[in-house]
Each structure stands twice: as structure tokens, then as C-alpha cells.
Amino acid sequence: MIASDCKNSIPMQIVILGAGYAGLRAAIDLDRLLRQRGRDDEVTLVDQHNYHQLVQVVHLAATAAIPDKKAIYDLAPLLSNSKVRLVQGRANLIDPLERRVVFADGNSLTYDRLAITLGAETAYVGVPGAREHTLPLHTFAHALRLRDHVIAQFAAAAKERDTKQQRILQTTAIVGGGYTGCQLAGELVTWADDLCRESGAPRAEVRVALIERTNYLLPQFGDWATQAAELVLDRQGVSVYRNTLVEAVEPQMLHIQGGRVLRAGSIVWAAGIAGPELLAQSGLAVEEHGRVMVDRYLRVQDQALIFAAGDCAAVPNSPDPGTVPATASYAMRQGAHLATTLLAEVEGRAPRPYEPLKLGELVSLGPHYAVGNPLGLPMTGYPALWMKKGVEQYYRSILEDGT
Ligand SMILES: Cc1cc2nc3c(=O)[nH]c(=O)nc-3n(C[C@H](O)[C@H](O)[C@H](O)COP(=O)(O)OP(=O)(O)OC[C@H]3O[C@@H](n4cnc5c(N)ncnc54)[C@H](O)[C@@H]3O)c2cc1C
């Protein structure tokens, strides 16, 4: 379709729900593509916050390893070079029949095409007390809450005279040995030194326990990473418990299968993610983890006008079986692909299928160590750490350059 034809067609309303890694990328890229073609279609980006959060560094914000302003970016300046309309609101429901999104405040927004990029929520997998008595770590707000909580526990320990009670207050139990749990554990043990110095709490009573249900840490990398991560974390003072199932949680107490009990002043739940509940509540097709099901074009199953990407979507890992990992790098590349798919939609062309680019992943284990498999090659130690920091810095520079 040539530009003069485009001008005669009715502009479409494209709504992108969620300004995370996938949604922000999709909005910026789509806006650029539409403008290059002289189209007047309107791109609206919706988020509950007025900032874009760097979820992959929230464990650093939670442990005061970076200042708050390094974990979030105001959305308005990020979009200032574009025509993207920014709407702040919390989506409560998607109504495919009426083609609208309903917000918590009762307002609604209609769309011609909708892209869902809402990220994921914490999965409590039915463990009694987990939702009520643990702290999640999935957003910037969670990070601040966790940081304040741990600081308060150490402050209380400094005033406590009973050693046993001090130990409980200064124990952090992290449930889940994946990305979030391992990265947080590594940072926490380092932060504990500062916390003790500042609060006067005894360093000897600090405990960090990482509890994993399966035999593996960082299972996406395979066996070698379990050994590497366990060794590094153990050396830093983290107690790693594998094959350990948490059956129930009470305030400051974990019930472990086999009748054991672990007391901890701070309990972090990092045992998995699930799709946002509003997806199923809106009648969209979701899989067992509540993620919306999409095809190779990122189109939601049974929905002609709705697309999805990032952690909220079960995206086929084609040509391999299963779905792609829930990581920021995949989410961002899916967002870029979504932009081309939406452009094809407004131009009335057939979209290209999404083909996952498997560049590998990197995970930090405290400030001085990382593991990963860039381009499929196992990598540990400083090289992995430098590469991880490089990837993070690259993302920041994209944001700061406004591209
Ligand atoms: C501690 C931690 C460390 C991680 N480390 C890494 C790493 O090193 N490398 C890596 O690649 N990945 C990492 N990940 C995973 C990565 O952060 C996620 O895969 C990524 O954030 C997914 O991007 P997304 O765009 O799908 O969702 P998100 O980035 O979570 O964005 C979702 C957006 O939707 C908005 N939203 C949600 N619900 C609503 C609603 N109802 N209404 C309006 N707006 C809403 C949110 O405010 C948010 O802005 C880490 C995750 C965690 C928790």
C-alpha cells in the first residue's frame, strides 16, 4: 500500500496495554513505522504507573545496591519524540465483544487492535499462607516494600537482647531458586554487611536461606549452573536447600515437607510467575499458568484483533517444543515483532511469524559473580558479569537515546 492510499483509509486505534519491556518497545517501534509511512493511526500506551520499570534490576533496588532512580524511568520523556498517547490507568477487564478495555476507575478505552503486554504476577501455587505472609519481588513497588521490611527487621534486631530472636529477625528465607531467588540471595548477603554496620545488629546472626523445591537452581541453564550457582552462593554465606518443598507459611515461619520448620523475619516468595488474572477473567484462552495463548504471529487464540507478548503470553518456542523463557530480552524482541505485526494489520497485509532469537541468558549472583549461556555457551565469573552489566547498560542507552 502506498502512502497516498494510506491517507484515505480510516485511522485505526491501536491500544497497547502495559509499558514494560514488550509494550514500550512495541509502542515506540510502531509509532516510528507508522510515521515513516505517513499514516495517522493512533497508538495509545496504557500503564498503571507513570514510569517504566526495569524489572530485571528490582533485586538491586530491593537491596539498596542501586539508587531508586536507576530502576525506573518516567514514561513521558521516553515518549517525547513520538506521537504515542500515554494513558495512566489500571486495566481491570478486556471486553473483546465491545472491543474495549475497562479500567479500575470505571472508564474505558476502545480499540481496533489490542496488544496485551501486561507482564506476569507472582504464582503462589496454592501454598497456604504464601500470599498472606511472604513478600513478592516482581515490581519496583515490591522492591521498596522488601527493602523497608528488611531494614526494619535489622533495626529491631539491633534493639533485641535475645540472640535467638535476633537470628530470626536477621534471617531472610527466599523460596524459589530461579532468576529472582538466586539474584536476590547473592545481593542480600552483601547488603547485610552494610545493614549491620548501619543498624548495629550483630553480623554473626545474619542468615540467608534459598529454598528450592527441585534438584536444580537456575534450571533453564541445565545441571552445570546448579553446581556453579550453589558453590558461589555457599561461598558468600547463603544456605541453599534443594529438593525442599515449602508446604505452608505462617507469619515468620515456613513449614517444610517432612515436618521441619524454618523461622525467618523476612520471607520472599520467588517460586514462579503466572499470567495476570484479568486475562482469564476476560474470557481469553489461557494455559495452566494463566498466560494467554498466542500463535506464531503473537495473535491471541480465537481472537482476530488481539495480540500479546512478553511474560503474560505463552509464546511458542518454535521450532523447539514448549514456550519461550520469560525474560526481558525475549519480551523486548517480541515487542519489536509486535510492532511489525500491528503495522501489517493496519496495512491489511499478512504478518510475519515471530521467530525466537536464542541469544542466551545471564544471571548475577551478587555484585561479583554471574552465570549464563550467551549464544548457548556456558559462562561463569567475571566474563559473565561484565557481559550482564553490558546488556543492562545497552538497554539503558536505548531508553536514554529515545530510540
Ligand atoms: C528480580 C528479577 C530479576 C530478573 N532478571 C532478569 C535478567 O537478568 N534478565 C532478563 O532478561 N530478565 C530478567 N527478569 C525477567 C524480566 O524482568 C521479565 O521477563 C520482563 O520484565 C518481562 O517483560 P514484560 O514486558 O512482559 O512485562 P513487564 O516488564 O513486567 O511490564 C508489564 C507492565 O504492565 C503494567 N501492568 C501490569 N498490570 C497492569 C494493569 N492491570 N493495568 C495497567 N498496567 C499494568 C506494569 O506496570 C508494567 O509496566 C527478572 C525478573 C525479576 C523479577
Residue nearest to atom 30 of ligand 1 (CA): 119
- Give me the DSSP letters along 62-89: HTTSS-GGGTEEEHHHHTTTS-PEEEE-
Coil, strand or helix at 177: coil
Hey, what's the cell of 376?
Answer: 548457548
Q: Are 44 and 14 in contact (CB under 8 A)?
A: yes
C-alpha angle with apex 300: 403 to 16, nearest 5 degrees? Answer: 35
pLDDT per residue over 156-202, tens digit each? 999 999 999 999 999 999 999 999 999 999 999 999 999 999 999 99
Residue 239 has pLDDT above 60, yes or no: yes
Residue 139 CA: which ligand 1 atom is closest?
Answer: 53
Residue nearest to atom 29 of ligand 1 (CA): 20
Residue 270 CB neighbour total at 10 angstroms: 27
Mean pLDDT score, 25-29:
98
> For ligand 1, is residue 392 a contact (CB within 6 Å)?
no
Q: Are 88 and 50 in contact (CB under 8 A)?
A: yes
> For ligand 1, is residue 300 a contact (CB within 6 Å)?
no
Residue 376 is predicted with a pLDDT of: 87
Residue 123 has pLDDT above 60, yes or no: yes
Residue 109 is predicted with a pLDDT of: 98
Ligand 1 center–CA 138 separation, angstroms: 7
- Range in 14-28, 135-149, 243-257, 382-396 the model is least confident about: 382-396
> For ligand 1, is residue 117 a contact (CB within 6 Å)?
yes
Ligand 1 center–CA 54 separation, angstroms: 7
Residue 3 is predicted with a pLDDT of: 43
In percent, how much of the chain has pLDDT > 90? 89
Mean pLDDT score, 112-129:
97
Residue 277 has pLDDT above 50, yes or no: yes
> For ligand 1, is residue 262 a contact (CB within 6 Å)?
no
Residue 83 CB neighbour total at 10 angstroms: 13
> For ligand 1, is residue 325 a contact (CB within 6 Å)?
no
Residue 5 has pLDDT above 80, yes or no: no
Ligand 1 center–CA 162 separation, angstroms: 41
> For ligand 1, is residue 311 a contact (CB within 6 Å)?
yes
Residue nearest to atom 38 of ligand 1 (CA): 118
Mean pLDDT score, 134-146:
97
CA distances from 101 to 15, 56, 297, 398 (A): 9, 28, 22, 30
Ligand 1 center–CA 191 separation, angstroms: 24
Residue 148 is predicted with a pLDDT of: 98
Asked if omega into 356 is within 30° of 0 (cis), the reply is: no
Residue 62 CA: which ligand 1 atom is closest?
Answer: 1
Ligand 1 center–CA 19 separation, angstroms: 9
> For ligand 1, is residue 282 a contact (CB within 6 Å)?
no
Residue 403 is predicted with a pLDDT of: 67
Residue 8 is predicted with a pLDDT of: 55
- Range in 3-17, 27-41, 234-248, 367-381 the model is least confident about: 3-17
Split at pLDDT 50, 70, 90, the class of 219 is: confident
Mean pLDDT score, 204-216:
97
Q: Are 124 and 131 in contact (CB under 8 A)?
A: yes
> For ligand 1, is residue 135 a contact (CB within 6 Å)?
no
Residue 385 has pLDDT above 50, yes or no: yes
> For ligand 1, is residue 326 a contact (CB within 6 Å)?
yes
Ligand 1 center–CA 53 separation, angstroms: 8
> For ligand 1, is residue 186 a contact (CB within 6 Å)?
no
Ligand 1 center–CA 58 separation, angstroms: 10
Split at pLDDT 50, 70, 90, the class of 16 is: very high
> For ligand 1, is residue 48 a contact (CB within 6 Å)?
yes
> For ligand 1, is residue 20 a contact (CB within 6 Å)?
yes
pTM confidence score: 0.95
Q: Which domains does the chain have, with CATH numbers?
A: 3-120+275-359 (3.50.50.60), 130-271 (3.50.50.60)
Distance of alpha carbon 155 from alpha carbon 150, whole angstroms? 9
What mean pLDDT value characterizes the chain?
95
> For ligand 1, is residue 118 a contact (CB within 6 Å)?
yes
Residue 1 is predicted with a pLDDT of: 41
Non-local (6+) Cβ contacts of 62 within 8 A are: 137, 142, 143, 144, 146, 147, 150, 184, 187
> Which of 327, 334, 359, 399 to mutate for ligand 1's pocket (most ligand atoms within 8 Å of CB)?
327
Split at pLDDT 50, 70, 90, the class of 9 is: confident
